[in-house]
Structure 1
Amino acid sequence: MTRLRLLMLSGLIVAVASGALVILVPATRSRLYNVAAQAYGATSPTPGRANIAMQAAPPPPTLRAGQVTIPTSPSFERFGWAFLDLRAKKLIGSTNKDTMVNTTESMVKPWLAADYFTRLGGAQPTDAMLRTITLMIEDSNDDAATTVYGADGGLGSIRRLVSTCKLTETHAGQSWSYTQITPADAVRYGRCIADGTAAGPKWTPWLLDKMRHVRGDVRDNNPSNVKVQGGHWGIIDALPQSLAKDTAIKNGWTYIYADARWHINCMAVHPDWVLTVEMQFAGSQTYTGLQQGANTCASVARQLLYTPDV
């Protein structure tokens, strides 16, 4: 039903319906005002004062469930995505979201940090280890990841990832980067980080903050330098600043010469949702190939982006 707001301005009653119609009625015609008020449920004006109804600000942009068209370039050997709406508790994605697997690469690094904190049992980590974990997340330092992985007990850490985060199709590989994971399990893993299950209440805010400060773009990647790698790209590139500032990310990427393919994953964790994109494709071994993967992750996020009408 149309709602009518009646205002008193300079001896006139101003009636506004849905912002589209203004009717000026002499304020002395109180009987007409009363009829209108009863008919439309309007609030009574205060004589001698403008009664101005304040409209609530529109909700901010967000990601929500929707259709995704898979890019046609590059030519993917494997491709899958999954989106978990934490508000509606709904998981959607590509038809192969529960079966397509990819090596996690650096996407698993937040878990290595979370597992380390949990295994401390409440003890305070050393400053040196906190610096190591920070480098592992913000710069995607592989040497730092190997250090933390060793402190976690190696493959046992991946087994704990599966059990702690209730993953169904994730399997340990020969090292942390070779862990096999599906898109659906990847969003469950992201949720596990976000809700504190992985790292606990003390360290979860710290870990998510590090994930919000990942540095560098695709041009900062050099195969000969595993200490400083640019990981701030992909899903985050498609988000407006109002949404990006609250979004934690950790991507994983490697050109694996054994199968001559890029293995790329993008994971973004927001308080309202988790999105993951996984792919393998043959392409340029330079950052040009990585940029194709980054663009694909951004494309998926852009298709799920919802900006309410103002």
Structure 2
Amino acid sequence: MPTDGFFSWAALNRRTGRMTGSPNIGAQSDTMSLIKAWLAADDLRRADEQGQLPRAPHLAALSAMLRDSDNPAADATYARVGRRSSIERMVRVCGLTDSAPVLDRWSNTVVSARDLVRLGRCLADGRAAGPQWTAWLLAEMRAVRGEGDFGPRDALTPEYAATVAIKNGWLLRDEDDLWHVSCLAIGETWVIGVLARYPGERGLDYGAGLCRQVGAALLLVA
């Protein structure tokens, strides 16, 4: 799958644990809004561990962060979960090897495609959000809408796509004038992660198309 920038992908079979990916599967890029899935999970798990039941406004803010990629909600959640210490917990809880907090900003968190699928498995199997909130979290990720609704599940039939949980990141960074795109898709038996960076003039649709192409190639659908 040729690109004129950075491109890495990984796929994980949730039944067998087998992982496949591009030759640079361990190369790092930043998450942007994709990390919001972890922030919500960490927040909910910690609340449950402390015997707290999040109130409706709290859950509504987390829902907006997941479904609509609301940045103020992410800022508030990041502060509540301890900022970079939350990312350090993600590395520890999910067994990641290529991920780290950067500059104490949630959007700058670095991961690899290999770690993206490990994170997806962690979100799906209950380690991230805990048994009380995993189903809620995945339902919210299936309900992602608007500008953030793109990625591998676009290659699926509408019926199948509705069963896939997603969270994506996208940003045209001023520092390098490159689009930075990340895609995470969690199916019943698989997880796909994609990372890309490419010239700004290509637009977001180019990165979304790369994520869709990975889904089409791996899931054998058009």
Bin the TM-score by the shorter chain. over 0.9
Cα separation, 1, equivalents of 2:172 and 2:156: 26
1:277 and 2:204 matched: no
| One of 82, 88, 110 as aligned partner of 2:10 | 82
Q: Which consecutive unaligned segments of at least 5 residues does structure 1 have?
A: 1-69, 217-229
Aligned to 1:96: 24
Selected match of 1:188 from 111, 115, 118? 118
Partners in 1 of 2:60 and 2:166 — Cα distance? 19
8 Å Cα contact 1:97-1:184 kept in structure 2: yes
Compute the displacement of 1:264 (Å). 0.2
SS at match of 2:128: coil
Q: Is 1:241 matched with 2:168? A: no
Shift of 1:269: 0.5
Give the ranges of 4+ consecutive aligned residues of structure 1 lying more than 6 Å apart after TM superposition.
none
Aligned to 1:119, which of 41, 46, 65?
Answer: 46
Residues 71, 296 of structure 1: 8 Å contact kept: no
Q: Which amino acid is 1:300 matched to? A: V
Instruction: Please state how far the C-alpha of 1:88 moved relative to its aligned partner.
Output: 2.2
Q: Residues of 2 paired with 1:261 and 1:304: CA distance? A: 26
Query: Which structure has the higher relative contact order (CA within 8 Å, separation 6+)?
Result: 2
What is the percentage of aligned positions where both structures have the same residue?
Answer: 42
Query: Which structure 2 residue ranges, 5 or more long, are not aligned?
Result: none
Name the TM-score, length of structure 1 as normaliser.
0.69
> What is the TM-score with the length of structure 2 in the denominator?
0.95
From 9, 18, 37, give the equivalent of 1:110. 37
Alpha-carbon distance, 1:271 to partner: 1.6
- Indicate whether 1:149 and 2:78 are aligned: yes
CA displacement, residues 230-255 of structure 1 (integer Å, 9 cap, x when unaligned): 11112121111232121000000111
More helix by share: 2
Contact 2:96 2:118 in 1 (8 A): yes
Count of equivalent residues: 218
Q: Radius of gyration: which is bigger?
A: 1
Could you say what the CA RMSD is over the residues aligned between the two structures, in angstroms? 1.1
The one of 121, 125, 132 equivalent to 2:61 is 132
For the residue of structure 1 that corresponds to 2:131, the secondary structure is: helix
Give the alignment of 1:141-220 within 5 angstroms. Answer: 141-174=70-103, 175-216=105-146
